[in-house]
Structure 1
Amino acid sequence: MTRLTRFTRTTAFKLSLLYIAVFTVMSGFLLLYISRSTDNLMSEQVVQSVDTEMKGLADIYVRGGIRELVETIDRRSRHPDASLYLLTDFAGNALVGNIARLPTVVLEEADGDLRRVRYTRFGQDTEDAERQAMVRTFELRGGFRLLVGRDLGDQLRFSNLLGNALRLWLAAVIAMAAITWIFVSRRVLKRIDEISATSRRIMHGDLSERLSIAGNDDEFDRLAVNLNAMLDRIVILMQSMKDVTDNIAHDLKTPLTRLQTRIETALRVEKGEAGYKAALQATLDETDQLLRIFNALLRIARVESMAPATEMEPASLNELIAEISDLYGPLVEDEGGHLEVDLPEKLEAECNKDLIIQVLVNLIENALKYGRPETGDIHIRLSGWREGERVMLAVTDNGQGILEKDQDRVTDRFVRLEESRSEPGTGLGLSLVKAVARLHGGELRFMNEAPGLSARIDLTPVGKDSSRSDDGDGGTTGGEERSDGS
């Protein structure tokens, strides 16, 4: 009983009942309309046939008198499919015709009106042979009365046939609707139960669960795809939060311990004013470094928590990169290098300009720190181009690149390769670049140029859908990367 009650409360059950009712009413109306229209048409044909017969017999009576009328009626009434005829004298005695039994009131009211009557033909005297007909009765000169009619057997049989068809059709509609209802309801309930079961497992902590997709692209598949994408996004945000927490717990423990040790040492040892001032200055520097790390972590977390297409707008990459070139060109020259810009005309993309500027700045500073060649001056190229349905931006240097074994980990937080540890930095710059690339529906990729390293991100051109399928982990796909010191 509980299962039945649950079943009848479903939307599928209610919609099925509605569809059954609407389809039944419409089918019944259609068949009833056909039946009525056909009955009216056949009735009109009967009336026209009776009127034509009556007019012809009246003309025969006028031309040839009663004898010729009797002979004509006798001849016509002998045909198997003949109309109905009955001619009586002034006393009501039958002179000729093919009607054996008829209500007497029909002949008494010889007013020419059309009547539906029951009758019995000659040769069919049983009550079971009583049939229906449409007749007219006229009184002729001399007291004669003439009845002409048409049997309604064919019309009644057709009406019965339509009635049976209507009943059969309604029964078939109800049966088919019930079968469809059961099938649809079971299928819908099954998909809903699967979604509910998966949701319960997810609520119990198994975030790897995903809604099943049947592959027929129905509304449940579309719902499952969107919910799975939402779950992927939630997992990314939760993982990001976990990473930040783990990073703070592990990677910031050492600088905080060092800061505590420095303060305790300064309090324990009498150093005088100069010594305390140097200790405070070192402590302040360490504090500034910690604040930079916290700010970088918070900025990465904010970027990763943003939804795709958030604050995206059409931007001219030519203007954006020109501003960066004007700012960093002199800085690269001061370092004894050269900054080159290589862009096609009117290169535009849907992006967050502030974040893209931060990405390019991080990559340029990374190239300045780690992209110097063993001999010669550093050369940095800032380039962009269209590749398929994406816009590519790249920062390329002429340094040593990185080893393939380090490619999968260099964009993780606080990761710094051994050759980079002598340079100042936090190891968070590339993590921010990767987060921004993923926010724009792209990814961060590195390619060794031999010599040099090319750091690339891809964006959506203006006028294209800003979302792109993602594998959910935001990882790079090939290419070589290196540690960041920004």
Structure 2
Amino acid sequence: MRLTELHRTTGFRLATLFLVLFGVIAMLLFGYLYREITGFELERIDDWLIREHAELKREVPDELVARFEHQNQFDPRRQRPFGLFDASGQHLAGGYLGDQPTIPVFDKPFAMRLAILPGHPPGRCIAARVADNRIALQCQNTLELDHFDDELLRALLSTAMITLMTGLIGASLIGISAMRRLDAVTASIEEIVAGNLSRRLPVHSKRDDVDRLVGVVNGMLDEIERLMNEVKGVCDAIAHDLRTPLTRMLGGLERAQRRAKTEAEYRAAIDETILETSGLLRTFNALLRISEIESGVRRAGFTSVDLAAVADDVFEFYEPAAEEKQIAYELQRTVPGPLQIQGDPNLLFEALANLVENAIKFAPHGGAVHVTLWHDTRGAGVTVEDDGPGIARAERDAVLRRFYRGEASRHTPGSGLGLSLVAAVAGMHGMMLELHDADAGCKVSLFKPARSHLADNR
């Protein structure tokens, strides 16, 4: 961004707006101070003139000349020239020499130029008619007051100009800082758009609203990068996992084409192909199922679900499979009564079924699988524990990814999508999926945190 575009930045505009508001307030304040200070000085002079005027009114007429001459002796600089004039306007006494000036008003203070003084300085005067049609004039030279007013006005204007210049410089610095931050953010975004998903928007140490927004955007970019990597991983996994069954299908069909001569041989080849195709369809259906769950479209149909009843159904459904492997299979309750949460009963059944199926699948012949319903300070949920090979700590995050198969499950039938589906159901329901340390085997908990659980019950 160029400096010519500085006025377009939000920081510069806000700083300028506040500068204008401050300038208006400062002008009103300066005007008030100027008016009050100058008005106070004028009021003080007028009060003095009115007191002198009142004393003059009480003076004996025959002593007026002596009074004016006495006052003149103590005012050699003519800062307070008094003058007594006869009916024709001729000077009789006092320091105001010359003929009587034009009197605009009597018995009230007024402003006029003091023509008897060099430069005709401004003054405040009061005039009165006294005995024998004489005119008494009392004045105060206000040149110093006017000079003070000029200096005060100059000081206020200088302060205003300095404030204006300082404000404009500050606004420019704020605008330039905003431009630099915007340029850095823009450059980062352009790099991200160009394909560098690991790039992040720069965060300053100011902890302001922009940094908060940048933090949210960086979090969004982290999620986008994770999803893109997951999509890439899923694509790679699909290509890898589908290559083997497709190769087997193609090889079986080619062998049937070359070798089969009887109907039974062709039927066997077709049965093998159907079996492989069914496996592929199950894999694709599982992927579509996970995508449907992650989209959240079924969240609108949530109802109150008894998690305990769902666990009972799952436990009963897998009893035959556990008996076939002679597994010690049991369901335990730590609390009586229902465990009500908001959710989709079919999806919760499917998630618990995957956990129990995995436990039975990986438990050794004659092993044990325990399903526990619990409700405590953490929340309400189900824990499934088996004594199989377990999941290594280093693989606990990876097993939730699609198509990932740990070392213990390499030679076990499956697509690696079971725990991914459970994680998707958990996320849709605001539940937690945790893999715990166990003395032997694997221990997995699916539960609703206490705060969310309480909110649902309300």
State the shift of 1:12 in Å: 3.7
State the shift of 1:236 in Å: 1.9
Tell me the secondary structure at the aligned position of residue 410 of structure 1.
Answer: helix
The residue that corresponds to 2:310 in the other structure is 324
Distance in 2, matches of 1:262 and 1:352, equals 42
Distance in 1, matches of 2:112 and 2:38, equals 17
Distance in 2, matches of 1:58 and 1:87, equals 13
| Residue type at the aligned position of 1:95 | L
Label 1:299 to 1:73 Cα distance change in 2 as closer, same or farther (>3 A): farther
- Structure 2 counterpart of 1:227, from 197, 207, 217: 217
1:427 aligned onto 2:416: yes
State the shift of 1:118 in Å: 1.6
Tell me the secondary structure at the aligned position of residue 330 of structure 1.
Answer: helix
- Structure 2 counterpart of 1:87, from 84, 91, 103: 84
List aligned pairs for 1:265-276, cutoff 5 A: 265-270=255-260, 272-276=262-266
1:57 aligned onto 2:47: no
1:237 aligned onto 2:227: yes
Higher helix share: 2
State the shift of 1:200 in Å: 1.8
Label 1:343 to 1:352 Cα distance change in 2 as closer, same or farther (>3 A): farther
Label 1:50 to 1:344 Cα distance change in 2 as closer, same or farther (>3 A): farther
* TM-score, length of structure 1 as denominator length: 0.78
List aligned pairs for 1:281-430, cutoff 5 A: 281-302=271-292, 311=299, 319-334=305-320, 335-336=322-323, 337-342=329-334, 356-371=348-363, 375=366, 377-387=368-378, 391=379, 393-402=381-390, 404=392, 407-408=395-396, 409-417=398-406, 420=409, 423-430=412-419
| Residue type at the aligned position of 2:308 | A
- Which stretch of structure 1 is more off in the superposition, 214-223 or 89-98? 89-98
- Give the number of equivalent residue pairs: 446
- Conserved? CA contact 1:367–1:380, under 8 Å: no
Q: Deviations over 1:352-388 (max 9, x none)?
A: 776555433321221222235x64653322435434x
State the shift of 1:266 in Å: 3.7
| Residue type at the aligned position of 1:50 | L
Percent identity at matched positions?
A: 29
- Which stretch of structure 1 is more off in the superposition, 455-464 or 247-256? 455-464
- Which stretch of structure 1 is more off in the superposition, 20-29 or 10-19? 10-19
The residue that corresponds to 1:470 in the other structure is none
State the shift of 1:347 in Å: 6.7
List aligned pairs for 1:10-29, cutoff 5 A: 10-29=9-28
| Residue type at the aligned position of 1:29 | L
- Conserved? CA contact 1:100–1:119, under 8 Å: no
Tell me the secondary structure at the aligned position of residue 214 of structure 1.
Answer: coil
State the shift of 1:301 in Å: 4.2
Q: Deviations over 1:323-348 (max 9, x none)?
A: 31231232344434212233598977
| Residue type at the aligned position of 2:158 | L
Label 1:332 to 1:339 Cα distance change in 2 as closer, same or farther (>3 A): farther
Label 1:258 to 1:463 Cα distance change in 2 as closer, same or farther (>3 A): closer
- Structure 2 counterpart of 1:105, from 102, 107, 113: 102
| Residue type at the aligned position of 2:434 | R
Distance in 2, matches of 1:102 and 1:133, equals 17
Label 1:422 to 1:22 Cα distance change in 2 as closer, same or farther (>3 A): closer
The residue that corresponds to 1:481 in the other structure is none
- Structure 1 counterpart of 2:125, from 125, 129, 135: 135
| Residue type at the aligned position of 1:359 | A
| Structure 1 stretches lacking a partner, 5+ long | 467-486
| Residue type at the aligned position of 2:28 | F
- Structure 2 counterpart of 1:250, from 240, 256, 267: 240
- Conserved? CA contact 1:413–1:431, under 8 Å: yes
| Structure 2 stretches lacking a partner, 5+ long | 324-328
* TM-score, length of structure 2 as denominator length: 0.82
Q: Deviations over 1:369-422 (max 9, x none)?
A: 2235x64653322435434xxx47452324134263763543443344565456
- Which stretch of structure 1 is more off in the superposition, 291-300 or 92-101? 92-101
- The RMSD of aligned alpha carbons is 3.7
Tell me the secondary structure at the aligned position of residue 91 of structure 1.
Answer: coil
- Conserved? CA contact 1:440–1:460, under 8 Å: no
The residue that corresponds to 1:479 in the other structure is none
Tell me the secondary structure at the aligned position of residue 445 of structure 1.
Answer: strand
Distance in 2, matches of 1:428 and 1:110, equals 106
The residue that corresponds to 2:176 in the other structure is 186
State the shift of 1:321 in Å: 1.5
Distance in 1, matches of 2:145 and 2:227, equals 77
The residue that corresponds to 2:326 in the other structure is none
- Structure 2 counterpart of 1:68, from 57, 60, 63: 63
State the shift of 1:144 in Å: 0.5
1:34 aligned onto 2:20: no
Distance in 2, matches of 1:462 and 1:153, equals 80
- Which stretch of structure 1 is more off in the superposition, 76-85 or 248-257? 76-85
Tell me the secondary structure at the aligned position of residue 390 of structure 2.
Answer: coil
- Conserved? CA contact 2:87–2:133, under 8 Å: yes
- Structure 2 counterpart of 1:164, from 147, 150, 154: 154
State the shift of 1:194 in Å: 0.7
